[in-house]
Amino acid sequence: MQILVTGGAGFIGGHLAEQFVEAGHDVVVLDNLNEFYDTGLKERNVAAGRDASDRGGTYEFVEGDIRDADLVADLVGDADYIYHQAARAGVRSSVANPRLYDEVNVDGTLNVLDAARDGGIERVVVASSSSVYGKPRYLPYDEEHPTTPVSPYGASKLAGERYACAYAEVYDLPVVALRYFTVYGPRMRPNMAISNFVSRCTNGDPPVVYGDGTQTRDFTYIDDVVEANLTLLETDAADGEAVNIGSTDTIEIRTLAEVVRDQLAPDLDLTFAERHDADAEHTHADTSKARELLGYEPSHTIREGVGKFVEWYRANREWYEPLVLNS
């Protein structure tokens, strides 16, 4: 099976590409290696995909941009499945440059969808985000919750997924949008809360919590996200739908910092800093729709996942830690 993974040098895309190759599929990764965070980590993701080709299918990396419609059309033309993970990430950064997020996350997604509707594609899986929900009217968020994003990033992700679902309706294009809830795990982006907490505690520095720490998050371990995506190679039950992909529980950011601190440096106190206005107050996923359509059963609690990440961090500290410290 031929699979195109856009953004396949990123965190989620890199894990997807690696697992698809391991499963014997032929994978093409499109990524522009932008410098939102250290490209050394993206090169590690590419290396992991190439290494997997010794044990499974083939892996090809193409450096390019989803804003290049001709390049996207060429690559889509050879694919059976498209996993569209490419996006400009970062809630806070989107506030400073909203038009860039529109160009990449909306126009880039339209390039993928336009190419796919003319190409006989089996399925397009679009990476969306819990940021589409915005301020909660109730929790947990189910897919019927109003979508009122509070950042340009969230608005751009909502526009991309709405275009995807509209293409499913008017062009009969098999599309699924997966709304991820704060994904973490090995090779995660170095500027995320968990990686920062682990790095600081490992080096004897107190973890920094933004705001009073009572914000809650639904953190999702990368293996659970990969499993949901793999299922979409086998079922059309979710075509035309937006589906939450979250975890088994939520946790306050302050408590998360304490969990990490207690594992690594129990004598440290927490440090608090000013919270950014664009940060969500609470996220919590209702995953019953994913369970019904995809048989999705998240297998990692936050404490289990953090423990696995700490173990991985220690084993890979020599190369990963400098990326976190410089992020």
CATH number at residue 279: 3.90.25.10
Least confident of 70-84, 180-194, 264-278: 264-278
pLDDT at 155: 98
pLDDT at 128: 98
Same domain flag for 71 and 85: yes
pLDDT at 215: 92
pLDDT band at 190 (very low <50, low <70, confident <90, very high): confident
Same domain flag for 147 and 14: yes
Same domain flag for 256 and 144: no
Q: What DSSP line would sit under 282-313, residue for residue?
A: B--B--HHHHHHH-------HHHHHHHHHHHH
Q: What are phi and psi of 149, to 5 degrees?
A: -60, 150
User: What's the rounded Cα separation, in Å, for the pair 113 and 64?
Assistant: 17
Q: What are phi and psi of 228, to 5 degrees?
A: -60, -40
Instruction: List alpha helices for the chain, DSSP H.
Output: 11-22, 39-52, 69-76, 91-96, 98-102, 108-117, 152-171, 193-202, 222-231, 253-264, 288-294, 302-325
What range defines the domain where residue 230 resides?
A: 2-181+222-245
Domain-embedded: residue 295: no
Mean of per-residue pLDDT scores for the chain: 95
State mean pLDDT over 80-92: 95
Same domain flag for 171 and 31: yes
pLDDT at 281: 80
pLDDT at 167: 97
Catalytic position from the list 37, 141, 153, 167: 153
pLDDT at 30: 98
pLDDT band at 275 (very low <50, low <70, confident <90, very high): confident
State mean pLDDT over 176-195: 95
pLDDT at 248: 82
Same domain flag for 177 and 129: yes
Domain-embedded: residue 13: yes
Same domain flag for 206 and 170: no
User: How many domains does one find in the chain?
Assistant: 2
Is cis: bond before 149, omega within 30 of 0?
no
State mean pLDDT over 166-178: 97
Same domain flag for 202 and 120: no
Same domain flag for 11 and 150: yes
Give yes or no for residue 278 having a pLDDT over 70: no
Domain-embedded: residue 241: yes
pLDDT band at 157 (very low <50, low <70, confident <90, very high): very high
Domain-embedded: residue 292: no
Catalytic residue status for 171? no
Per-residue pLDDT tens for 106-154? 999 999 999 999 878 999 999 999 999 999 999 999 999 999 999 999 9
User: What's the rounded Cα separation, in Å, for the pair 257 and 197?
Assistant: 6
Same domain flag for 275 and 144: no
Per-residue pLDDT tens for 223-256? 999 999 999 999 999 999 999 999 988 999 999 9
pTM: 0.96
Same domain flag for 60 and 150: yes
pLDDT at 56: 87
pLDDT band at 43 (very low <50, low <70, confident <90, very high): very high
Q: What DSSP line would sit under 157-193, residue for residue?
A: HHHHHHHHHHHHHHH---EEEEEE--EESTT--TTSH
Pairing mode of beta strands 183-184, 81-84:
unpaired
